[in-house]
Amino acid sequence: MSIDLSDLNSDPRYTRQGGIHVPANTGETKWFSGDVYTVRLGAAATNGAIGIVEASVPPGSGPVAHTHADQDETFYLLSGELEFLDGDRIFTASAGDIVFIPRTIRHRFKNVGLHTAKMLFLYTPGGAENLFLEGGDEPEPGVAVQAWGPERFDERILGLFRKHGVEALPEDW
């Protein structure tokens, strides 16, 4: 059997392109709820398939407990340790750990350590990452990100939560 290589050039499985390359240190960065989030790959670029966010979580920081109506969320810790809430269970995840939270499950993470934790989190399908882009603060070089108190969760932010299928279910408000 012989293969005519010229036939491969007309086969779209060999020539069609559609991959996405996201170079290091790219994406849109926002401060949100005391954390630094960089949207590395958004739903708009992936036909809604996935949203990927790089996070830096300073000591004492992390989001309020919440659920997602339409997205599962997967966390991959790159460095540090984070305390996770899963429903009513609390556990600690460390560098190299993966945590998967299905949609509608109450969850949050909190840095209870001494050093900034870094992680990637993935929304499937994508879309919830737009909450950070629409509601986050512009970062200021040379300035530490500020924690958000309950007063920041005003009608504008809660409206963005609703828009993106997020419901705040705080532990101590």
pLDDT along the chain (173 residues), means of 10: 64 89 96 97 97 98 96 98 97 98 98 97 97 97 93 93 94 62
Q: What is the pLDDT of residue 13?
A: 85
Confidence at residue 35, expressed as pLDDT on a 0 to 100 scale? 98
In the prediction, which pLDDT does 6 show? 61
- Cα 82 to Cα 102: distance, rounded to the nearest angstrom: 18
The yes or no reply on domain 24-168 and CATH 2.60.120.10 is yes
110 close to 75: Cβ distance less than 8 angstroms: no
Residue 108's pLDDT is: 97
- Please tell me the distance from the alpha carbon of residue 109 to that of residue 117, in angstroms, as a whole number: 11
pLDDT at 173: 47
Task: Report CA-CA distances (Å) from 47 to 25, 50, 66, 103, 125.
Answer: 23, 8, 25, 20, 9
Q: Could you tell me the residue ranges of all domains in the chain?
A: 24-168
Cβ distance 39 to 51 under 8 Å? yes
pLDDT at 5: 60
pTM (2 d.p.): 0.90
